[in-house]
Amino acid sequence: METYATALLYAIPFFVILLTIEITYGYFVKKQMHKVMDTVSSISSGLTNIIKDTLGLAVIVISYPFLLEHLAITEIKANWLVWGVAFVVLDFAGYWNHRLSHKINIFWNQHVIHHSSEEFNLACALRQPISNLVGYFSLFLLPAAVLGVPHKVIAVLAPIHLFAQFWYHTRHIGKMGWLEYILVTPSQHRVHHAINPEYIDKNLGQILCVWDRMFGTFQEELDQVPPQYGVLKPAGSWNPIIINFQHLWRLLQDAWRTRSFWDKIRIWFMPTGWRPDDVKEKYPIAIIGDVYNFKRYAPSATKGLKLYVVFQMLISLGLMMFMFYNYTQIGFEGLLIFSGFIFIGIFGYTTLMDRKKYAVGIEVVRGVAGIIWIVYLGDWFGLNAYLPQADLWIVAYFLITIFASIYFTYFENGETGLRLAS
């Protein structure tokens, strides 16, 4: 996990640079593809995912080293050919894992966050899950284990393979000629994120598009069918933690409410969106019918609130980067507490974005707890060694958090404040 944290120290600035370029380009060519609240929600979702992954907060059903040890029929060295074979196997496994996430109810829960944005831009690429608390991806790597692909090769390629899926989440790049027959491109991935009937569950490849062409899930982007983005059951929230477990909560409710014992069991493994007939009739859930005319999620937000949540997001990012930089020194218990402050902070300010009044309670409790921590220990996880009087700066931050949450909840609400278009 420490290695992954170190890799993120280099990867995150790269993502931020690309995001800045896209936002700047979109602004000057008058084709802005970012809305402040949506982008903050997307980036915040990425932060929660990174924290979960770096702390290893998942139960691994079976590990790749275990499969390698017990199933390998040969042992091969990590030469250039092995790296190529491993990449293809990893991409093949990624395709089927992705396809499973789109087709089975329980697995959709860990992927819906990625599709929840009603925009399509580089920020929405960062909408990654924290609900994937059971790791089973290694099962898709059985061919690699049988071939004896070394664990080191998979461990190095896996984050590279993941990071390489970032760039094609953009509307600013058109079709790319002959590359459309080899790689997943922005055009193909726009189709994948679209909710148009022509595009649903298409283009499931991650790096190579050959799997979609091979297994019948490929769909070209059509000029006469402009992609519309989101999910057919809209998330209706900016809070990434809520979005992560929204589908699971619906499944639990349906399993509890249905009178059929068989439906209570099979609902988890039925096609995505399937619901028992008795529950569907009694507890209907709104589904988008006309993808070109539906009300997009946009609770009222003043200019001040937008600036505040951007500030909160940047502070959370900065704190997380420091946490990665000091990963070993902080220690696992310290990392849990540190990341807990960040995680609760994200929950708090994204709840404030949703204009929920209980956000103030979350922010005040967190702020007071942070101040007590600094008063008691006199430092913020060793930050004083890098920034003079860092403890005072962190206290000031928590005070801002407390008073800002009260202000935006009780004094500047959506009706009385200055409203701006997103």
Instruction: Kindly report, residue by residue over 289-347, the tens digit of the pLDDT.
Output: 999 999 999 999 999 999 999 999 999 999 999 998 888 899 889 999 999 999 999 99
Which residue's entry shows tokens 């589904």?
287
Contact 51, 126 (CB under 8 A): no
* pLDDT computed for residue 2 by the predictor: 56
Between CA 238 and CA 45 the distance in angstroms is: 9
Q: Which two tokens mark 164?
A: 């390489």
The whole-number pLDDT of residue 113 equals 97
The domains of the chain are located at 2-215, 303-410
Q: Is the pLDDT of residue 415 over 60?
A: no
Residue 422 pLDDT exceeds 50: no
Bridge partners for 271 per DSSP: 104
Distance CA 250, CA 164 (A): 33
Q: What is the pLDDT of residues 167-214, one digit of tens each?
A: 999 999 999 999 999 999 999 999 999 999 999 999 999 999 999 999
Q: What is the pLDDT of residues 358-388, one digit of tens each?
A: 999 999 999 999 999 999 998 999 999 998 8
Residue 249: closest CA among 233, 260, 261: 233
Rounded CA gap, 67 and 141, in Å? Answer: 9
Q: Distance from CA of residue 408 to its chain's centroid? A: 26
Res. 421: pLDDT tops 50: no
The helix (run of H) or strand (run of E) holding residue 135 is: strand 134-135
Scan for tokens 């200019």, then name that residue.
Answer: 303
Token pair for residue 317?
A: 């990012």
pTM, entire model: 0.92
